[in-house]
Amino acid sequence: MTAHWIKVEKDTATKPEVMRLAALLDIDEFTVVGHLIAFWSWVDSNLSPECPRTQGTIRGLDRIAGRTGFCEAMIAVGWLSHANGMFEIPKMGRHMGKSAKLRAEDTEKKAKKRSRQKLSPVCPPAQGTESGQTPDSLGTREEKRREEGKERENGPQGQPYIPERMNTPECLKAFEDWCDYLDAAGLDSINPRYNGPQAEAVWKQAHRFGPDKWPLCVQFSIANAYKSIVEPSEPIAKTRAKASKPKPDQDPEFLRTLEAYRRWPEASEEHRQARAGHLGDTLLRIAKRIGGDRFVAVTEYTLPRLAAEFSRVKDEVGNEPF
């Protein structure tokens, strides 16, 4: 790696995944962040974005993180995957890759350079700029305006500002449904759950649609596998009926089954009982007919095919006599 450090965002402790880790491990979010730093530090030293997989055991990774049950909790929230004795860090290159560190270092160097220029005599204005304004000072002034705008729009602890009339259970659930859909589709680069500016843009769009219309627009966009939330071109009443049946990879029962095998991927009796309690008889029957190992080893490329097969087997099981 290019540097002996890892990237930790200032709102890490308030991320939904960290909150869920805290609930699963029965500890507070700040303790979770400490275990994450220990775990990610080991990952940074031993893995790479080009080779994000390693052999190991759940007990061994728990010792690295310093917490029993930490590995299974990471699998449950989607920050770690496990199949056939191999562990993998999903999307490792986004925050721990060489290019990510180079960008962070470059940002720090530019900030230090601007700080030095403020203390030095004013340079002659460059061609194409107004008197007394260097390109860097113009950039600094523009950045300051953007930062001030973000401070006005952001809520507490860096969270995106949610318009008051949109802060309803229905709208909040629609936002989470949209984020879950983008996660399942592998569209994390535009997922507002991980992107502050994107979250602000989504809530501004929601405010334009209004609290009654926006959840239906979200349902319509998910049902049609869109990459952005769009307003239906036909009456909302018809859209509600068309959006009532989700796409195969957005079926709540499919996602529930997928979550069960991510949380309890092993063939041990303890994991089998946990999956059975989480799924119930019908979903467990469907999963066994498809093959539980396929849910454990699923990737973003095999997910659509697995979801389609789940939908087909689900219909078959539903039509079978008891």
- Asked if pLDDT for residue 152 goes beyond 60, the answer is no
Half-sphere exposure of 198 (CA within 13 A, CB side): 16
* pLDDT tens column, 245-299: 567 778 888 888 988 888 898 889 999 899 989 988 889 889 989 988 888 888 8
Q: Is the predicted pLDDT of residue 138 greater than 80, yes or no?
A: no
pLDDT tens profile 16-58: 889 999 999 999 999 999 999 999 888 888 887 667 778 778 8
Q: What is the pLDDT of residue 184?
A: 79
Question: Could you count the other beta carbons within 10 Å of the beta carbon of residue 279?
Answer: 19
Confidence of residue 157 (pLDDT cuts 50, 70, 90): very low
Name the pLDDT band for 9 (thresholds 50, 70, 90).
confident
131 has pLDDT over 60: no
**Helix (H) or strand (E) run with residue 175 in it:** helix 169-184
Average pLDDT, stretch 57-63? 89
CB contact set of 274 (below 8 Å; sequence gap of 6+) = 260, 263, 264
pLDDT value at residue 182: 85
Q: How far is residue 258's CA from residue 312's CA, in Å, rounded to a whole number?
A: 16
